[in-house]
Amino acid sequence: MKTSGSGTDRITVEEAAERTGHGREDEAARRVDASVLLDVRELDEWSAGHAPGAVHRSLTELLDGAPLPPEDRGQRLVVICRSGNRSRQAAALLTAGGVDVVDVIGGMREWAEAGLPVVDSQGLRGTVA
């Protein structure tokens, strides 16, 4: 784990997968206390491919004051985007609001390169846009 210049912790995709319970074939085997994976890319990027079970709220929406879904408020968040730039901004914003959050170095590009699961909006094999 690394700390960015903004004071927000940054983790690798492997650490993110472990914290969020991804990469396991049996979804029921995911840790009960797993962190929520929050994808902050735009809707078209999300629709093309995202991690199964991730929550979507774009950085644009967060900057406009959109709240997190009620079930995810108060949860530990792992924030991801395409390459790590937007997630770093989102993590700083959320941290300033008192949220327990880390962001993912390398984003969905590295997530996919590591062989971690990516699905599209229909739940089929997705791509990182």
Question: Is residue 81 classed exposed, middle or buried when 0-12, 13-18 and 19+ CB atoms within 10 A define those classes?
Answer: buried
Neighbours of 69 (CB within 10 A): 13
Q: Report how far Cα 42 is from the mean position of its chain's Cα atoms.
A: 13
* SS3 track for 30-42: CCCCCCEEEECCC
Report, in this order, helix, strand and coil percent for the chain, each rounded to 5: 35, 15, 50
> Active-site residue 81, yes or no?
yes
Active-site entry in 81, 104, 105, 128? 81
Positions annotated as catalytic residues are 81
